C-alpha cells in the first residue's frame, strides 16, 4: 500500500467557516464561537483510493483578514489543491473569491493545482444572498469543482475532500480512513504556525 502526502489549502474571507470545515472533516466537531485564524495551521487526514493508494491530506487553514493577505501566499504556492470558501449569506465573501482569491491562487500556485469553490453555511439557506447557479458558473469558468457545504451539520464536508482525491488520482471509489480509536494523535493532527510580519516567514508556534 502506497502513501502519498497531498497539500490542501483553504482560503477565503474571515468568518466564512474555513476552520470549521477542517474541524468537521478531521474531528467531526463544530463550534459556534470558533475564533478567527490569525496565522496558519494544518491538520492531517487520510483518504483511501483505488488500488490501495492512500492520500495523506495536509490541510492548511489560513487567515482571511486583509492584513494577512500578502503573507498567505506562502501557504498555497506549493499546494496540490486549493479550496476557496465563501459564506452563502455574505455576497461580499463570494465577490472576493472572484476579484481577489482566485487570481492570487492562479498567479502564485502550480499550474496543475486542483481548484474547488465551496459555498459554506448551506444550513442558513433562508438567509442566502449568493445564487448557487452563479457560484457554479464561476467555478466552471475557472475549471473548479463546486461543492455546497455546511460545517455545522456536516453536509458536503466529506464529499469536498473525496472529490479532490478522485480528481487527483482518477479513482472512482474513495473513502475516509478511520484511525484506530479516533483520528490521528493530536500532535500530528493539528499544528499552528505564527506569521511574523517582520520577516514574512512562518514560524512554528506549537501544538494545539
More confident residue, 31 or 110: 110
Evaluate if residue 36 carries a pLDDT over 60: no
CA–CA distance, 30 with 32 (Å, rounded to integer): 7
CA–CA distance, 186 with 30 (Å, rounded to integer): 17
Place of cell 473525496: 162
pLDDT band at 93 (very low <50, low <70, confident <90, very high): very high
Q: Is the pTM of this model over 0.95?
A: no
Place of cell 438567509: 127
More confident residue, 182 or 48: 48
More confident residue, 64 or 196: 64
Residue 82 burial by CB count (10 A; 0-12/13-18/19+): exposed, middle or buried?
A: buried
* DSSP type of residue 98: I
pLDDT at 75: 79
pLDDT at 201: 44
CA–CA distance, 32 with 18 (Å, rounded to integer): 13
Place of cell 433562508: 126
pLDDT band at 186 (very low <50, low <70, confident <90, very high): very low
pLDDT at 73: 75
The tens digit of pLDDT for each residue in 76-89 reads 888 999 999 999 99
Residue 201 burial by CB count (10 A; 0-12/13-18/19+): exposed, middle or buried?
A: exposed
Q: Which of 44-48, 63-67, 128-132, 143-147 has the lowest mean pLDDT?
A: 63-67
The tens digit of pLDDT for each residue in 153-171 reads 999 999 999 999 999 999 9
| Long-range contacts (CB closer than 8 Å, 24 or more residues apart) made by 198-206 | 200/70, 200/71, 200/74, 201/74, 202/39, 202/40, 202/74, 202/75, 205/39
More confident residue, 195 or 16: 16
Evaluate if residue 67 carries a pLDDT over 60: no
More confident residue, 47 or 70: 47
The 10 Å CB-count burial string (b at 16+, else e) for 98-137 is: beebbebbeebbeeebbbbbbbbbbeeeeebebeeeebee
In the chain, what are the domains? Answer: 3-207 (3.40.50.300)
Q: Is there a contact between 16 and 86 (Cβ–Cβ < 8 Å)?
A: yes
Amino acid at each position: 500500500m502506497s502513501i502519498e502526502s497531498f497539500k490542501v489549502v483553504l482560503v477565503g474571507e474571515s468568518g466564512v467557516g474555513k476552520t470549521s470545515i477542517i474541524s468537521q472533516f478531521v474531528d467531526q466537531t463544530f463550534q459556534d464561537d470558533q475564533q478567527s485564524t490569525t496565522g496558519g495551521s494544518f491538520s492531517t487526514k487520510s483518504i483511501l483510493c483505488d488500488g490501495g493508494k492512500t492520500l495523506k491530506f495536509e490541510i492548511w487553514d489560513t487567515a482571511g483578514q486583509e492584513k494577512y493577505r500578502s503573507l498567505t501566499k506562502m501557504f498555497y504556492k506549493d499546494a496540490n489543491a486549493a479550496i476557496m470558501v465563501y459564506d452563502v449569506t455574505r455576497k461580499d465573501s463570494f465577490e472576493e473569491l472572484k476579484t481577489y482569491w482566485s487570481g492570487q491562487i492562479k498567479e502564485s500556485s502550480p499550474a496543475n493545482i486542483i481548484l474547488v469553490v465551496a459555498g459554506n453555511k448551506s444550513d442558513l439557506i433562508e438567509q442566502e444572498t449568493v445564487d448557487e447557479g452563479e457560484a457554479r458558473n464561476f467555478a466552471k469558468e475557472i475549471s473548479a469543482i463546486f461543492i455546497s457545504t455546511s460545517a455545522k451539520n456536516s453536509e458536503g464536508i466529506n464529499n469536498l475532500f473525496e472529490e479532490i482525491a478522485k480528481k487527483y488520482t482518477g479513482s472512482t471509489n474513495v473513502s475516509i480512513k478511520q484511525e484506530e480509536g479516533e483520528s490521528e494523535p493530536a500532535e500530528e493532527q493539528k499544528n499552528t504556525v505564527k506569521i511574523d510580519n517582520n520577516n514574512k516567514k512562518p514560524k512554528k508556534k506549537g501544538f494545539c
